[in-house]
Amino acid sequence: MIRCYIALGSNLGKPREQLLSALAALRSLADTTLVNCSRFYGSIAVGPGQQDNYVNAVAAIDTTLTAEQLLTALQSIESQHQRRRDVRWGPRTLDLDLLLYGESSINTDTLCVPHPRMHQRDFVLRPLADIAPVKLLQSEFGGINSATFKDTDDLWVLNDNDQSQSA
Ligand code: AMP
């Protein structure tokens, strides 16, 4: 089994429900166990135009799928959630990014792992710090932990009963 980390994000069509439904899909993926999921976060959209806030989280899975098989499975889950690929960094019902596939370094036409932009994105790092082991956070992310982050106007913990995604 390979331990993988997947970033989940949505800012269209009931984002929290999109994430819950994506987690259910990950749970029922063949040859895969959903190990853990971070808290859910609200975040301000980074991208073109005026966009609704995002809900973000990071999930840990164990899988025997290859990285390419896993990417295909993630894209199929995105499609099941009416994901369209028209505007780069535009609004999306569901975005699933493969952050880490064990300790592998992969650079192909379709897959880049570790995900090239994850280190610059607090909406990835903060949920990752909720669930990743200290050793990984030390070696890959310079020793961040959940206490590194505080709620800001750009990124905040969502309460279970907060349906608005607003701060
Ligand atoms: P996006 O529109 O941000 O979901 O990007 C999707 C595209 O990024 C697809 O064409 C993937 O083949 C490519 N890609 C490269 N590396 C990754 C990765 N680590 N996780 C998800 N998609 C990736």
- Asked about 151 being catalytic, the answer comes back as no
CA 51, CA 73: separation in Å to the nearest integer? 27
CATH superfamily name and code, 2-157: 7,8-Dihydro-6-hydroxymethylpterin-pyrophosphokinase HPPK (3.30.70.560)
Helices 67-80 and 15-27: angle between axes, nearest 10 degrees: 140
Query: Which DSSP helix (H) or strand (E) runs through 115?
Result: none
Q: Residue 56: phi, psi to the nearest 5?
A: -125, 150
Question: Per residue in 42-92, pLDDT tens?
Answer: 999 987 778 899 999 999 999 999 999 999 999 999 999 976 656 666 678
CA 74, CA 80: separation in Å to the nearest integer? 10
Q: Whose CA is nearest to atom 12 of ligand 1?
A: 110
- Asked about 85 being catalytic, the answer comes back as no
Q: Whose CA is nearest to atom 10 of ligand 1?
A: 110
Domain limits, the chain: 2-157
Question: Per residue in 123-151, pLDDT tens?
Answer: 999 999 999 999 999 999 999 998 999 99
